[in-house]
Amino acid sequence: MKIHPEGYVIILVAFLLLATVNALLRWLSPHWLHCTIAGASIVFFCMIVWFFRNPNRPLTPDVNKVFAPADGEVVAIEEVEEPEYFKDKRIQVSIFMSPLNVHVNRYPVSGIVTYVKYHPGKYLVAWHPKSSLLNERSTVAVRTESGQEVLFRQIAGAVARRIVTYPKAGDTALQGADFGFIKFGSRVDVFLPLDAHIRVKIGDKARGNETVLADFKSD
């Protein structure tokens, strides 16, 4: 199983701490207690490693498709006013990531990164309607070859406390490549042109690099 680089330090620190605690308990506690804590430590460590998994999901770039940037449940599809960058109406598709989902964030389209902005903020639950505007978040916009612009926003939740965003304005975005990571549960909003054809519905389980959220083709 491939591990995302964002997990290397956390996994190492967790291993050293758990190994130290269990070594001390082996000498200082009853055998039954040491065995119980050792078992719990193994389960906890495996959960940490599992959280930072980075499955290989190659895709063939398609200029007409918008792929899901994250794993999780589609919790909102609505026409909204996007106030930060576009300042006009867009279709918002929101994906909620539980702590059990893969937390790698991938570019939904290829093109040139036109905008990147980090905002400190609150830690409301990720499905709260105001979380997109009030929570800690990071916004990225990409202009495709055809001139379409897609904006996607990483949003921290009640548990997530660290958003990692790699690109800078002017960078080249490659559809399917990693653009960031959110640690321990959160949400990603995608803002699309009003004429985009939405290919998911609320309640669908999205998979990054596999689920097509929308396309720009006419029926």
pLDDT at 48: 87
Residue 60 counted as domain residue: no
Q: Are 99 and 165 within one domain? A: yes
pLDDT at 102: 86
Q: Are 104 and 31 within one domain? A: no
pLDDT at 130: 58
Residues 6+ apart with CB under 8 A from 209: 57, 58, 59, 67, 68, 106, 176
Q: Are 39 and 91 within one domain? A: no
pLDDT at 125: 59
As for how many domains the chain has, the answer is 2
Q: Are 173 and 98 within one domain? A: yes
pLDDT at 129: 57
pLDDT-flagged residues of the chain (< 50)? 219
Residue 59 counted as domain residue: no
Q: Which domain holds residue 161?
A: 65-215
Residue 126 counted as domain residue: yes
Q: Are 83 and 44 within one domain? A: no
> What is the average pLDDT score of the chain?
88
Residues with catalytic roles: 186
